[in-house]
Chain A
Amino acid sequence: MGLLSFLDREHTVAGPGYNRWLVPPAALCVHLCIGQAYAYSVFNLPMTKLIGITQSAPDDWKLTELGWIFSIAIFFLGVSSAIFGRWVEEGGPRKAMFAAALCWAGGFFISAIGVQVHNLWLIYLGYGVLGGIALGIGYISPVSTLIKWFPDRPGMATGMAIMGFGGGAFIASPLSVWLMSKFSSPTHIGVMETFVVLGVVYLFFMMVGSALVRVPAPGWKPEGFVPPRENKLITKNDVYVYDALKTPQFWLIWWVLCLNVTAGIGVLGQASAMSQEMFPGHITPVAAAGFVGLMSLFNMGGRFVWASTSDYIGRRNTYFVFMVLGFILYCTVPYTGSIGSVVGFVCCFLVIISMYGGGFSTVPAYLKDMFGTRYVGAIHGLLLTAWSMAGIFGPVLVNYIREYNVTHGVPKAQAYNTTMYIMAGLLVIGFICNLLVKAVDARFHMKDNETERAAADVAAVGKPAGA
């Protein structure tokens, strides 16, 4: 216990003179690593040829079997962020980042063994379960710390970290391809070695983040900080994590996030096929790959830009922009297809995807405005179940409606029109949910913050905070 005491919250309190701008890189150390999840698909094809090498052998894994790895990981992301949210909040960011690093690297090492002995269940357990838990804990671990360090610009601070999650794939994808090429030979595909190297690299990066992170001393405020003027939608009180579940605000924001993500995630996964089918002959497979890359950049950039913008125009107004602008753009997409405007189509989707990323990065600050800073990380963890739900709905909506249209004789170029209008409709519902968000009723506020905090800390850490 003493050996790991440096992980405790009280040992991470920043001393005088600590520069708060060291916290975003600490958060990025974790988010850039776990963002690898978005690039996991680069392993799919090589893993279907581990035995056959040049082509799949009968005993090789099928793509459908491999698809479950990512699904399990995303499922455990939602589950672990919801279950461990309170532990992350009360144990402090260093302990959470440390645990996430061990689980993430451990997931890669177990998966490497799975590849070596050709046992898919080990990969489900390694990358799927253990990696998924790391995703959940790692994703929420720096959120409340950043909000406490940047009370003047919480949107920008969390936007920076969550931008890292979007950017992690940019590093992981070319790095993984390069590593596999180095470890592969005419008789061997270097997936196992790549997993081991990635595990080691990610462990190192995340441990650096864990060592770098600090929490502010109680009562710390940035120099010259003037609290925002009285605003009904920015509370000065805290709501206990499980009390937040009893408020309509939590569920309204849950739906706002779920609908915003549903609208974006479906097209993100199908962007390549959709662009080629809507503009046959104009967008080639190579150009479509470029389009997907550009969308990823806007997904990442939108996370920072929209969350930072929300510090100036307010969280609720930012989501109003997402819903209204998204509605207009989704309704415009079929028109761009009908007039053959590739530029219009690309511009529409780049803005849509920036708002998809912006929805993720703005929501922690929205929760902080509604429920206070004390349990914002844990509440954020519970809210991420909306992501899991959207991850199922979005692709299903796009794929099945397209399939239905094509089988009923609709030309492929127009097969996505119905989906676009449905997405626009979802955003109207999201607009209404956002409109209904009001200040949290005072009966949900923690009555005696200090007493409850101390009690909660004792329960979680085992000794009084600051002891």
Chain B
Amino acid sequence: MQSAQQNGSSTLKLILAWGFVGIPLLWGVLQTLSNAMKLFQ
């Protein structure tokens, strides 16, 4: 039971940590990608 709880909190921490850096990075990549598309216009 305790192990399952530990696993759950560890997964939540992972999602939060990766989201914290991943979301801004993804936003930046999408901004750059939309600018880069001008090469093909």
Determine whether the beta carbon of B13 is less than 8 Å from that of A22. yes
Q: What 0/1 readout, one digit per residue, does chain B (15-35) give for beta carbons within 8 Å of chain A?
A: 001101110110111011101
- Is the CB of A290 closer than 8 A to any CB of chain B? yes
Contacts of A291 in B (CB 8 A): 36, 39
Which residues of A253-302 are within 8 A (CB) of B?
283, 286-291, 293-294, 296-297, 300
Interface 9-mer from A25-33, A93-101, A325-333, A459-467? A25-33
Q: What 0/1 readout, one digit per residue, does chain A (205-233) give for beta carbons within 8 Å of chain B?
A: 00010001000000000000000000000
Q: A174-B28, A297-B29, A297-B33 are in contact. Are A32 and B13 (CB under 8 A)?
A: no
Contacts of A346 in B (CB 8 A): 39
Contacts of A170 in B (CB 8 A): 25, 28-29, 31-32
- Is the CB of A164 closer than 8 A to any CB of chain B? yes
Bound complex: CA A164 to CA B28 (Å):
11
Determine whether the beta carbon of B18 is less than 8 Å from that of A290. no
- Is the CB of A187 closer than 8 A to any CB of chain B? no
Bound complex: CA A286 to CA B24 (Å):
25
Determine whether the beta carbon of A164 is less than 8 Å from that of B39. no
Contacts of B41 in A (CB 8 A): 286-287, 290
- Is the CB of A183 closer than 8 A to any CB of chain B? no
Bound complex: CA A174 to CA B36 (Å):
14
Determine whether the beta carbon of B17 is less than 8 Å from that of A26. yes
> How many residues in A have their beta carbons less than 8 Å from beta carbons of B?
32
Determine whether the beta carbon of B17 is less than 8 Å from that of A212. yes
Contacts of B25 in A (CB 8 A): 28, 32, 164, 167, 170-171
Which residues of B3-22 are within 8 A (CB) of A?
6, 10, 13-14, 17-18, 20-22
Contacts of B20 in A (CB 8 A): 25, 29, 208
User: Of A17, A25, A26, A164, which is within 8 A of B6 by CB?
Assistant: A17
Which residues of A322-348 are within 8 A (CB) of B?
346
Chain B residue at smallest Cβ distance from A177: B31
- Is the CB of B37 closer than 8 A to any CB of chain A? yes
Determine whether the beta carbon of A293 is less than 8 Å from that of B13. no
Determine whether the beta carbon of A32 is less than 8 Å from that of B14. no
Chain B residue at smallest Cβ distance from A16: B6
Determine whether the beta carbon of B36 is less than 8 Å from that of A293. yes
User: Of B17, B22, B31, B40, which is within 8 A of A290 by CB?
Assistant: B40
Determine whether the beta carbon of A171 is less than 8 Å from that of B27. yes
28 A-B Cβ contacts within 8 A? A17-B10, A19-B13, A19-B14, A22-B17, A25-B17, A25-B20, A25-B21, A26-B17, A32-B24, A32-B25, A167-B25, A167-B29, A169-B28, A170-B25, A170-B29, A170-B31, A171-B28, A173-B31, A174-B28, A174-B31, A286-B41, A287-B39, A289-B35, A293-B33, A293-B35, A293-B39, A297-B32, A300-B29
- Taking Cβ atoms with an 8 Å cutoff, the residues of A that contact B are 17, 19, 21-22, 25-26, 28-29, 32, 164, 167, 169-174, 208, 212, 283, 286-291, 293-294, 296-297, 300, 346
Which 3 residue pairs are nearest across A and B when measured between Cβ atoms?
A170-B28, A290-B39, A290-B38
Q: A32-B21, A174-B31 are in contact. List 6 more A-B contacts (CB 8 A).
A: A32-B24, A167-B28, A171-B25, A289-B35, A290-B35, A290-B37
